[in-house]
Structure 1
């Protein structure tokens, strides 16, 4: 079976133009540029090396599968649309976007969801010519399954699994033809302590696409050693290797105590026994002051290459000032070693390396767009669908944007919804993938009063910045609005400009460096003028804002009443 990835436009939401009304107040954007400038990425790779993370920025909870010479990887997407980004590679190092798995409102009904709800921890598997993706749509549908014969889509409508509660489902195809779903769920009876969870397993009838009644059983209670009160056992994956059934899980929560742990059993009816040298991956206990720390590692998945090597993908974060990160949880890659028929990803006490020898795969991938290292990315809006780098918050149910490839622009209608509310704002964003970045957009100055348009840095409804331009008579006001948990939304910087200071278009930009962020525009002569320098970017970090996502940078348009 030959599986060829589609173009980088595949899998995005296709905008239907029938409902778009150009008569509404709108803003026109001509380009958007993002540049990463991290020092850790500045040195060239040595021959045969690869760069961690393999997917920089908010790409958490990776799951991977192999089909012949091809590898496919998916990530959690939470409340962003389209849902579940999917990538293709032939060498595990260079990844090409195939788009997204969940691309229709029926597949992904998101409305008024908080950013860190939505899609949790997908698992992707290839079996007998079919791809299976199983995941959880928190607060809406629970656990469900979709299938495809081409991983670039189309994927089926959801197959709901109402019998299975909890989150993080895994699907496993045994060599006797039986199929099992394993997931995180409450323990039997009342939890013994905060964070006490369990791993459950059910048999699944592949022909009827239904869960076998009364087949559910608890296979891990609490974690590796319940006497030590382990917390948040989750993210399970089952493998059968050399006659053993292995259960790989995340344990310790998603923060700095995160880890990956392993169990095994001779039969799925037997008790799963934890490895005495668990965890097999963690960074807890290391010096917080170490240089360029990679932290919070865990939630792993295994894959064996066609050449016989074992590798693990897992999530981690690159922190600054010990505990802050704005880029979200990223995807990393490390080799798996075996000893006494137990796997290990990283020896306890060792740091996750940024660079090491690449997998010895026969074939390689030439990705058209870098997913790690320093790079420049630019969209001039010359396509009839949004590039797969772009996302919206929630499911687009009304046509508030329109791509105009013949004019090389995108038009976004102003809506009342703010970035601080749960109702969908007119916001189209891409991931912040570096600690030090520069992002800017060229837009037409608003022709009329009553709207603003500009660039936003968004982590959540309670943690974001909006740098906008608003017309009032013959003057234009540039303003920076900050939204925090404590103070809601407020204008923290502004300036007024007249038409003589500007051309018909304006460049608005934002530059971030770890915990600081600047906002600037280009004047008529093309000179950068800073509106605000050194603003607090830590409020966009997970440590301050909370949740499970990273920061997005993008275009925002809204109505204004003042």
Structure 2
């Protein structure tokens, strides 16, 4: 065993609400996806450092109905657990059906159809398997005796009958959070250690006041006693400009060597704005006097985490060379799949699992595996509607990147569009595209609070074949080219802050993609061929 270093976050970009489980030498982690499809990415690691998204658990409309879901509706806070050869993923579809479980014997699937849990009120469900095999549901809802204010919740448990996949018996309120008048005790997970049941939750909301608290009890059905040191972890006292804010919603895991680590969400602001959403971070913990100490001696997230792994990797060599933090960050980019450069040419029929759609896609609007790349058929679904436009996304993982594509289209219908979409939500986004008018045009469209505006209209002799977007900190620049070599600037220093949660609200991060749109199909069905999509972190 050697100690090496890894940079935080371990999953960059829109990967909130992490839940983790270890099965032998393998770690599996899931995250929330809200109104994006497919839902609940499943990432795998053997060392807590190198993570690869291997699939999406909810991959069919029967498993995940997102019809008319608000942008921050859909899937909330999944939990993954493993028991006697079966993986269990439990989550909430707040838009359709509530809390449900899916199962699989192989993490790659197939995953079962949903088992919706009758009587399971509230959100953020978790499962706990006791030593005798009893399965408990743990969730959060308004107090049964009546909530004094919005967000005045209780954490409750109830047994699950695994033969019927339904709740059974009585439900028990076990905790209401650490602070008097606390808002939003949620995200509960139960663990057992040395004869104690430990309950870890998030509270204080998902913003700056987010915190992680813990309680314990000898009896899972009785009131839990809070840790005297609560919250056991938070950044809410550090201000809006700290490098990582909004820390909370955690899960913990023990390695096969007996070390303990916590995964949690946090946001990285740039000049006060968080464009990447809530990301997944890693922090060590120890147990002391029957309670966890998170990152002992520090008590905060570190940019660089020291972790014990087996020998022989470039990371070990980098650590032994004692490179500086900046150089190590640069080196480690290649070891985080969510940070790597991606150039996808769409020649294969199946898309990599890190691509996704907004709500349930109209499948016949997408064609992959073609010699000309990705073909998108124009939809008349507005980009501001709670519906599924013709658009394909991946997560923005860095505040500094370039995104480029090569496209070919005739666009026969008036006011049709095709190009690059920078999406924070339906009501906050940028569209950089070729545009059908009396003459060929390249345009930049902003959407702020649902109001669309042409920022730039440039008439051209023909449609360009290449479009490129570059972001440096909070400044966006937009370029086009006819030959892929000489690029012309359309706009520079465009404000990217509208793509932040501080401006847009909600729970998601910025997603980058390709799209096409037509307001009418009067002259036929427009389509566009995208030869590639190249996302490169700078």
Q: How many residues align?
A: 503
Task: Indicate the residue corresponding to 2:382 in structure 1.
Answer: 418
Residue 289 of structure 1: how far off its partner (Å): 4.0
Residue 288 of structure 1: how far off its partner (Å): 3.9
1:220 maps to which of 167, 175, 180:
175
Contact map agreement 2:66 2:95 (CA 8 A) in 1: no
Task: Indicate the residue corresponding to 2:248 in structure 1.
Answer: 298
2:301 maps to which of 352, 356, 371:
352
Task: Indicate the residue corresponding to 1:57 in structure 2.
Answer: 13
User: Does residue 329 of the first structure (1) align with residue 278 of the second (2)?
Assistant: yes
Task: Indicate the residue corresponding to 1:286 in structure 2.
Answer: 238
For 1:337 and 1:249, the matched residues in 2 are separated by: 18
For 1:395 and 1:371, the matched residues in 2 are separated by: 28
SS in structure 1 at match of 2:503: helix
Range 432-441 or range 56-65, more displaced: 432-441
Residue 67 of structure 1: how far off its partner (Å): 0.7
1:262 maps to which of 190, 200, 214:
214
Q: Deviations over 1:263-312 (max 9, x none)?
A: 1111113320110101111111114444xx11101100011111111111
Q: Deviations over 1:466-485 (max 9, x none)?
A: 11102345x31111111111
Q: Deviations over 1:191-232 (max 9, x none)?
A: 21342111111111112222104x1111112x113xx31111
1:308 maps to which of 258, 269, 280:
258
Contact map agreement 1:280 1:346 (CA 8 A) in 2: no
For 1:365 and 1:193, the matched residues in 2 are separated by: 53
Residue 449 of structure 1: how far off its partner (Å): 3.9
Residue 514 of structure 1: how far off its partner (Å): 2.9
Q: Within 5 Å, give how 1:471-550 maps onto structure 2.
A: 471-472=436-437, 475-485=439-449, 488-499=451-462, 506-524=465-483, 526-550=485-509
Contact map agreement 1:260 1:282 (CA 8 A) in 2: yes
Range 338-347 or range 434-443, more displaced: 338-347
Task: Indicate the residue corresponding to 1:389 in structure 2.
Answer: 354
For 2:437 and 2:221, the matched residues in 1 are separated by: 71
Task: Indicate the residue corresponding to 1:29 in structure 2.
Answer: none
Range 64-73 or range 362-371, more displaced: 362-371
Task: Indicate the residue corresponding to 1:444 in structure 2.
Answer: 408
Alignment CA distance shift 1:447-1:539 (3 Å): closer
Task: Indicate the residue corresponding to 1:42 in structure 2.
Answer: none
Contact map agreement 1:307 1:361 (CA 8 A) in 2: no
For 2:45 and 2:471, the matched residues in 1 are separated by: 31
* Unaligned ranges ≥5, structure 1: 1-45
Residue 388 of structure 1: how far off its partner (Å): 1.1
Residue 560 of structure 1: how far off its partner (Å): 4.2
Task: Indicate the residue corresponding to 1:239 in structure 2.
Answer: 191
* Unaligned ranges ≥5, structure 2: 316-331, 523-538
Residue 387 of structure 1: how far off its partner (Å): 1.4
Range 419-428 or range 520-529, more displaced: 520-529
Task: Indicate the residue corresponding to 1:121 in structure 2.
Answer: 77
1:159 maps to which of 115, 123, 135:
115
Alignment CA distance shift 1:370-1:349 (3 Å): closer
Task: Indicate the residue corresponding to 1:319 in structure 2.
Answer: 269
Q: Within 5 Å, give how 1:173-192 maps onto structure 2.
A: 173-192=129-148
For 2:392 and 2:338, the matched residues in 1 are separated by: 24
User: Does residue 275 of the first structure (1) align with residue 239 of the second (2)?
Assistant: no
For 1:194 and 1:507, the matched residues in 2 are separated by: 50
Contact map agreement 2:361 2:390 (CA 8 A) in 1: no
For 2:381 and 2:284, the matched residues in 1 are separated by: 46
Contact map agreement 2:172 2:221 (CA 8 A) in 1: no
Residue 170 of structure 1: how far off its partner (Å): 0.4
For 2:191 and 2:496, the matched residues in 1 are separated by: 42
Alignment CA distance shift 1:162-1:348 (3 Å): farther
User: Does residue 371 of the first structure (1) align with residue 371 of the second (2)?
Assistant: no
SS in structure 2 at match of 1:543: helix
Residue 338 of structure 1: how far off its partner (Å): 1.3
TM-align CA RMSD:
2.3
Q: Within 5 Å, give how 1:4-15 maps onto structure 2.
A: none
Residue 368 of structure 1: how far off its partner (Å): 12
Contact map agreement 1:90 1:361 (CA 8 A) in 2: no
For 1:418 and 1:244, the matched residues in 2 are separated by: 53
Task: Indicate the residue corresponding to 2:526 in structure 1.
Answer: none
TM-score after normalising by structure 1: 0.85
Residue 350 of structure 1: how far off its partner (Å): 4.5
For 1:481 and 1:163, the matched residues in 2 are separated by: 46
Q: Deviations over 1:118-161 (max 9, x none)?
A: 00000000110000000000020100000000011110000110
For 2:261 and 2:300, the matched residues in 1 are separated by: 17
Task: Indicate the residue corresponding to 1:76 in structure 2.
Answer: 32
Task: Indicate the residue corresponding to 2:64 in structure 1.
Answer: 108
Task: Indicate the residue corresponding to 1:31 in structure 2.
Answer: none
Alignment CA distance shift 1:370-1:378 (3 Å): farther
Task: Indicate the residue corresponding to 2:101 in structure 1.
Answer: 145
For 2:484 and 2:364, the matched residues in 1 are separated by: 36
Residue 245 of structure 1: how far off its partner (Å): 0.4
1:197 maps to which of 153, 166, 169:
153
Q: Within 5 Å, give how 1:17-56 maps onto structure 2.
A: 48-56=4-12
Task: Indicate the residue corresponding to 1:33 in structure 2.
Answer: none
Residue 373 of structure 1: how far off its partner (Å): 8.1
For 1:408 and 1:477, the matched residues in 2 are separated by: 23
Task: Indicate the residue corresponding to 1:85 in structure 2.
Answer: 41
SS in structure 1 at match of 2:502: helix
For 2:262 and 2:442, the matched residues in 1 are separated by: 47
TM-score after normalising by structure 2: 0.89
